[in-house]
Amino acid sequence: MAMPLEAMKSPSTAQASSNGASPLPTYVTGYRNLTLLYGCPFSATDPGYFNCTGYNIISPHSNVSFPINVFIETRDYGSEECNYSVTFHVAKDTTLEAYALQEAISEGFKLKWDLSSKACEDCRNSNGSCGYDKVEFVCYCPNLPYHLSGSVCANSSLLIIQSPASSGSTARVLVVILIIISILLISGLLRKFIARDDDYSRKKRESDQNMEAFVNNFGSLVLQRFDYSFVKKMTKSFSTRLGQGGYGEVYKGKLPDSRLVAVKVLKESKGNGEEFINEVATICRTSHVNVVALLGFCYNKNKRALIYQFMSNGSLDKYIFDKKSSSNLEWKTKYHIAIGIARGLEYLHRGCNTRIVHFDIKPHNILLDEDFCPKISDFGLAKLCKNKESIISMLGARGTAGYIAPEVFCRSFGEVSHKSDVYSYGMMILEIVGGRNNIVACESHTSEIYFSNWIYKQLEPGRDFEISGAVTEEEKEVAKKMIIVSMWCIQTIPSDRPSMSKVVEMLEGSLESLEIPPKPSLSLPTRSPKHSIPSSSLSTSKSAQRPASQGEVCIELSDM
């Protein structure tokens, strides 16, 4: 038989826990400590020796067994000279014989606990049970699978007082409650998602029905409908990107008859197809040399595209804002571009059975063919007016900051009408003359000043008219004519602006026949607008990050 050796410290010598609990259990009377020594250099004739025949001791350090030679610790010698010692608590009347010692040790000993201590009293007052865990007092709390090392149960007022026998049933009840709550939450989320999906599906079906009805109604028009796979094939999987419009990106493509086309692929996230219907329905009604031609369209539910004639020279903005390109644009070409755009707008306002207001006239939406003939494009924001109505009802502002007429975002200036396009046209012509973006130019404040203040000084009798890029008298006359016409177009009050027919007449007439227009107002009306719309709802182009005040225009001057 082998038994391990270990040192045993008497519980009576342990200290009370540091948390203020009561002293640990103590021995009852009638017991004494007995220390046995092993591996001592004493002889068998020394007092307290006896031999444990048949027993071996296994050292916990070396796992080596050796015969037991035991000495009882006496006053004559102690444990300092021995290898091991074990202290037991045995009855006082135990006989110091091997068989008697083994029996006494097996019986163990008794401890007593003072239940009247403050720590135990606090534990019991907090619905806990007093206990002891090896070396410290512990408080066992109800409904917890573990004990607390403090003297009281934490948050005892929130605990359910019940017997240990009922704790298992309580746990099962809690599990059932949690399962029910989880099922209710999941069911609510599922109903919400299903309702949202049903609402989306309903709107999608309505949109598809509207689109199909539109396609059927316009089936008699000379428009070809393309399949999306064919659109992908004609653009070589959309490999050549020409630019980006208000509602999608534009790619270069080629028809089977070798005609080059511009394919505008509409973004899926933009509305329910209103912009697609709007653009197709608008351009279907047009046929003019200065309006881009729509050759066909593609509608496969969420795949929508518009196929236009290809404009080899791109959009007008790169010839205005790019210094290298604008240097190649002669004043004669600028003048013809201005007249062409004016004729296109005149046609939209008067030449169709239904008046069309574009609402987004800007250089980016003016395309140039190989002969620099301008063509108005991008009718996604256009409005159709039946019977050539003058006043347009709108719930929100539309257009690009820097080109929007005052009345579009503030009804105090007047009613929205085709005169809103006239204002945008005037702002764009000033950019053509100045060769730069008016809004960006106003931010630099280097060689440019506010146009409306400068123009009156330039038109004073006897003063030379000077503008950057205009060298000959003919060029200066063209520039002056374009500026005067554009100033009429950007008048703050819509009724003070000319119609596009009058604009064409003024551009084609002589400079001497033109009157100097009133100076445009640079501020909004002092009274609170009745139907003002926040400018934050307006779209902003990349080249125009800050809207300028109405009538605020800049132009580059030379040698002022």
- Asked if the structure places residue 491 within a domain, the reply is yes
Look at residue 501 in the predicted model and tell me its pLDDT: 96
Query: Of 274, 309, 344, which marks where a domain is finished?
Result: 309
CA separation for the pair 283, 308 (Å, rounded): 10
Domain harbouring 278, CATH code: 3.30.200.20
- Asked if the structure places residue 341 within a domain, the reply is yes
Residues 224, 365 within the same domain: no
Residue 186 in tokens:
């999941």
**Sheet strand arrangement including 260-266:** 224-226, 294-300, 303-309, 260-266, 248-254, 241-244
Residues 301, 336 within the same domain: no
Query: Of 261, 279, 309, which marks where a domain is finished?
Result: 309
The per-residue pLDDT string of the chain (560 residues; one tens digit each, 9 = 90 and over) reads 333 333 333 333 333 344 444 456 777 788 888 888 877 877 776 767 766 655 555 545 545 455 567 777 776 666 677 887 888 788 887 777 766 777 777 788 787 766 657 778 888 888 888 877 766 777 888 767 556 555 677 654 433 344 444 456 677 888 889 899 989 889 888 888 887 766 666 666 666 666 666 665 554 455 788 899 999 999 999 999 988 766 678 999 999 999 999 999 987 654 556 667 777 777 777 889 999 988 888 887 778 888 999 999 999 988 887 666 545 688 999 999 999 999 999 999 987 777 889 999 999 999 999 999 999 998 878 887 765 556 666 555 677 888 889 888 887 888 888 999 999 999 999 888 877 665 554 444 433 345 556 665 666 667 777 777 788 889 889 988 998 999 899 999 999 999 999 999 999 999 999 998 887 765 555 444 443 333 333 333 333 333 333 434 433 333 33
Look at residue 451 in the predicted model and tell me its pLDDT: 56
Residues 459, 525 within the same domain: yes
Residues 283, 360 within the same domain: no
Residues 435, 511 within the same domain: yes
Residues 302, 323 within the same domain: no
Residues 471, 335 within the same domain: yes
Domain harbouring 524, CATH code: 1.10.510.10
Query: Of 263, 279, 309, which marks where a domain is finished?
Result: 309
Phi, psi of 86, deg, nearest 5: -135, 130
- Asked if the structure places residue 423 within a domain, the reply is yes
Exactly one of 360, 371, 378, 559 is catalytic; which is it? 360
- Asked if the structure places residue 157 within a domain, the reply is no
Residues 263, 393 within the same domain: no
- Which residue is associated with the tokens 């939450």? 185
Residues 400, 441 within the same domain: yes
Residues 294, 328 within the same domain: no
CA separation for the pair 232, 301 (Å, rounded): 15
Helix (H) or strand (E) holding 51: strand 49-58
The question of whether 133 is a catalytic residue gets the answer no
Residue 458 in tokens:
């330039």
Q: By the 8 A CB rule, do 147 and 139 touch?
A: yes
Residue 55 in tokens:
């027993």
Amino acid, res. 166: S
Residues 388, 437 within the same domain: yes
- Asked if the structure places residue 122 within a domain, the reply is no
CA separation for the pair 78, 155 (Å, rounded): 52
Phi, psi of 358, deg, nearest 5: -75, -50
Phi, psi of 66, deg, nearest 5: -145, 155
Look at residue 245 in the predicted model and tell me its pLDDT: 65
Q: What sign results for the dihedral spanned by CA atoms 446, 447, 451, 453?
A: positive
- Asked if the structure places residue 45 within a domain, the reply is yes
Tell me the residue range of the domain where 487 lies: 317-556
Q: What sign results for the dihedral spanned by CA atoms 503, 504, 510, 511?
A: positive
Q: Per the structure, how many domains does the chain have?
A: 3
CB atoms within 10 A of CB 201: 10
Amino acid, res. 441: A
Q: By the 8 A CB rule, do 549 and 537 touch?
A: no
Beta partners for residue 250, in sequence order: 243, 264
Q: By the 8 A CB rule, do 560 and 502 touch?
A: no
Q: Is 383 annotated as a binding residue?
A: no
CA separation for the pair 79, 161 (Å, rounded): 52
CA separation for the pair 368, 379 (Å, rounded): 16
CA separation for the pair 409, 396 (Å, rounded): 8
Burial of 522 (C-beta count, 10 Å sphere; 0-12/13-18/19+): middle
Q: By the 8 A CB rule, do 366 and 377 touch?
A: yes
- Asked if the structure places residue 259 within a domain, the reply is yes
- Asked if the structure places residue 483 within a domain, the reply is yes
Look at residue 524 in the predicted model and tell me its pLDDT: 52
What is residue 520's three-state secondary structure?
coil
Q: Are strands 2-4 and 248-254 parallel, antiparallel or unpaired?
A: unpaired
Phi/psi-derived region of residue 182, left when phi > 0, alpha when psi is between -120 and 50, beta in every other case? alpha
Residues 350, 419 within the same domain: yes
